A and B are shown apart, each in its own frame.
Chain A
Amino acid sequence: MEIEKKNDNSIINIRDLVFEYTREEDDGVVCAVDHVSIEVPRGSFTSIIGRNGSGKSTLAKNVNALLLPSGGSIIVDGYDTADESVLWEVRRRVGMVFQNPDNQLVSAVVEDDVAFGPENLGIPPDEIRTRIKDALNAVDMYEHRKMAPHLLSGGQKQRVAIAGVIAMRPAIIIFDEPTAMLDPQGRGEVMNILEKLHADGITVVLITHFMEETIGSDRIIIMDRGEIALDGTPREVFENTAEIEALGLRLPFAVEIAARLRARGVFVPQGLLSMRELADDLVARKEGAR
């Protein structure tokens, strides 16, 4: 039976996390995550950005107990990831979608792959069948349920991978660069599903290089060399244009244009994140001035 352990609103509680590993080439110790503390509220949408090697993926794998902390702790829905006796309680709560759509599908048939997680959880077959149907419908892949994954497009494969995670009914889904290997169409498909899942109450953590994808999130964390460089709402974070560029990251399109306009002496208010917001503001301001 599930025990209600919620005593506050946060579903992931990362306290002073340190993750170190030994480099193979020279036995040097690398600190991939360096004293990081994050609380993720239930049902929220958090984006994590950072250059390759900034520690964001390592952080994500710690939340799912794929990696265990060298120092500090992570509590997921009341369960400590370092406590081996509750490992499966942690993993069933935290679903993960990885970058390469090919290398996370286990079975040669779509519906069998979606069944893989529930089978591991020991769910009865009839219940699995309902879950497959729900999960594949949620990602709009139900009609492809008998197909072989290698015949699907990248976006479709990634949707199947998401269905496989949904079928386990996790409270949290971590997307680790889910769109990095997709074309614009596939990217759009995956982002639509991600937003839908968030709307349905699932806690979403998105790791990405595409700034535009983070605009809709409740909170953005920018990582650099294992530490949190910036943390706040998209509006707050994207005010730090110079700092973000110095970290080797790109600004969202509208934010970049707005910053460059400001540098040219054009007044543009902060906090315009999408291209339309910026355009609407510019037009309204001009009309107001008349």
Chain B
Amino acid sequence: MIRVENLTHVYNKGLAYETKAVDDVSFTVEDGAFIGIIGHTGSGKSTLIQHLNGILKPDSGKIFVDDIEITNKKTKMAEIRKKVGLVFQYPEYQLFEETVYKDIAFGPKNLGLSDDEVDFRVKEAMALVNISFDEFAERSPFELSGGQKRRVAIAGVIAMKPAVLILDEPSAGLDPKAHTDILNMISMIRKQTGNTIILVSHNMGDIAQLSDLVFVMDHGKLASAGPPSEVFADTAFLQGIGLGLPPATEMAHYLAARGCAADNIILTRDELVDFLAETFGSGGEAK
């Protein structure tokens, strides 16, 4: 469980252009939950998640992960890394080892694990990101395709076996196939590890489809939090802070304005197709 209490982070403190990147944010995340974080570029999303694994220190406020206060100076960093894994944007730019194997092993080795355990974890992580061990373990990570590089980089974090996995725009810049593959991979990881997952994304469709809870950041504040069906129902609010809707929701919204409203909020393509087939199908065969 993650508990964030009154977290505040100020950039350029004391200077004329001081900004509150994160402003008095509090929330709780239950074990195994899938959290989607949305918000404008510069709304404080990235700053917020970098606190969750202790890379940034707050100016005030506390963060607890499984009752360990990670904001406490006495807490060992290694403890936090074991609990919270953070995959940055474009993580393939952090690859540095000669082989895929060594690169993924970097994190586990830093945790001081035995060679056998490291070996086991590398294999496990590669299986989770769907990169064949036999084919790729001894290849240079720099020879892989963009999508493969990214999976290897994600495996490097997964191999540390964090209870919480945070991913910042994990599919940015990939082609549509690689994008879908990465999302499927995240769902698979969740299913197999039972991890708590925090996904930061601009893609409202992905967020609506995957998340249990959606956090909306705006100007450093946690402006809204709730299940997708609640958050994406408040169209006026989202548009007011410059955020879009999932495409399926947007279409349902448009249809509602044309006199064809659905009974429940529509978030995913599947739900939209069901609704449309019911409403516009000739024989009502959807039922």
Contact = CB atoms under 8 A, between A and B. Distances in A.
Classify A-B as touching or not with yes or no (CB < 8 A): yes
Interface in B228-287: 242, 244, 247, 250-251, 254-255, 258-260, 269, 272-273, 276-277, 279-283, 285-286
B259 A283 contact: yes
Interface of B: 40-42, 143, 145-147, 172-178, 180, 202, 242, 244, 247, 250-251, 254-255, 258-260, 269, 272-273, 276-277, 279-283, 285-286
29 contacts: A51-B175, A52-B146, A153-B41, A154-B41, A183-B40, A184-B244, A185-B41, A186-B41, A248-B175, A248-B177, A250-B176, A253-B269, A257-B273, A260-B269, A260-B273, A261-B277, A264-B273, A264-B281, A265-B281, A265-B282, A266-B280, A278-B251, A279-B258, A282-B260, A282-B280, A283-B258, A283-B259, A286-B279, A286-B280
Interface residues of A, number: 37
Contact of B175 (A52, A154, A285): A52
Contacts of B254: 275-276, 279
B148 to A, nearest CB: 11
B40 A265 contact: no
B269 A257 contact: yes
B239 to A, nearest CB: 12
Given A264-B285, A267-B282, A53 B41 contact: no
Contacts of A286: 260, 279-280
Interface pairs A-B: 8 shortest CB-CB: A248-B177, A250-B176, A264-B277, A266-B281, A253-B247, A52-B175, A183-B41, A260-B273
Contact of A275 (B250, B273, B277): B250
B177 A51 contact: yes
A60 B178 CA distance: 22
With a 10 A CB-CB cut-off, give which of B41, B260, B283 has the most chain A CB atoms: B41
With a 10 A CB-CB cut-off, give which of A53, A256, A257 has the most chain B CB atoms: A257
Given A275-B254, A276-B254, A279-B254, A261 B41 contact: no
A209 interface: yes
